[in-house]
Amino acid sequence: MRIVTLGPAGTYSHRAAGAVGEGIEFRESVTGIVEAVATGEADRGIVPVENSIEGSVTESLDGLAEFEVAVVRELITPIRHALLAQTRDFATVASHPQALAQCRSYLDSEYPDATLESVTSTARGVERAREDPDVAAIAHPGTADGGLSVLAEDIQDRTSNATRFLVVAPTAERSTAGGKSSLIVYPNDNHPGLLLDLLRPFADRRINLTRIESRPSGERLGDYVFHIDIEAGLYEDRTQAAVEEIETLAEAGWVRRLGSYDTEHVVE
């Protein structure tokens, strides 16, 4: 099985991917991961979609809306950030934008004058710190090798910090079985009460929404795609009825059933 995730080696995505299988390959962007699965270059892709501190990973949401894939598993892993550097005398802290944001309080308190540098992944920040003694990285403490020392551990703003990853697969592997389901809805419409109309079919059938988020469609200003997660399987009669009602509401646009899946907790 060919598995792709965010690289280079040592990212939190890489650690989550270890729960899926071996033979892991890397891409430089989340969009590239989803595209690799959609085009048949890979059998599985692991993408981060939501963090308990910083919220949704918008590039992942946009990639899921752009390419036809299925979601077959959900992985939740705790995030432990550490400050890594060659010495304590550095001027720049490099990491993924989400990691920098998740450690905002620590950085403001301990290194208020440091320059924050956004890179494509936490592992890329580690590479920068290995190459340049003037650069520190924020990453998992287990990546402290190659001349780097752990200067501080658990520097995230909240100890409950966790990230939710989705495992994407080819559409032929989409399942209706599972405790959760994900949908993407593009109404291609804008009228008073549109959001209420989209929510009511679930509320009427007592289906709990765990997340709903809008993203620009890219078609025109004020036009949105909605990402919806529910606590119900697509195999259930109530879910099928609700989705059919949503499809009628969005007949000018489209509804994508990403699939049903179960949640797994990955602890390292």
| Residue 185, φ and ψ in degrees, nearest 5 | -125, 125
Q: Is the pLDDT score of 15 beyond 90? A: no
Q: What is the DSSP string of 21-33?
A: -S-EEEESSHHHH
Q: Is the pLDDT score of 94 beyond 80? A: yes
Which distant-in-sequence residues (6+ apart) come within 8 Å of 130 by Cβ? Answer: 86, 146, 147, 148
pLDDT by residue (tens digit) across 157-202? 988 889 999 999 999 999 999 999 999 999 999 889 999 999 999 9
Q: Is the pLDDT score of 262 beyond 90? A: yes
Percent of the chain with pLDDT over 70: 100
Strand, helix or coil at 189? coil
pTM of the model: 0.85
Which distant-in-sequence residues (6+ apart) come within 8 Å of 124 by Cβ? Answer: 8, 94, 96
What average pLDDT does the structure give for the chain? 94
Residue with tokens 């009511």: 200
| C-alpha torsion sign, points 123, 67, 167, 81 | positive
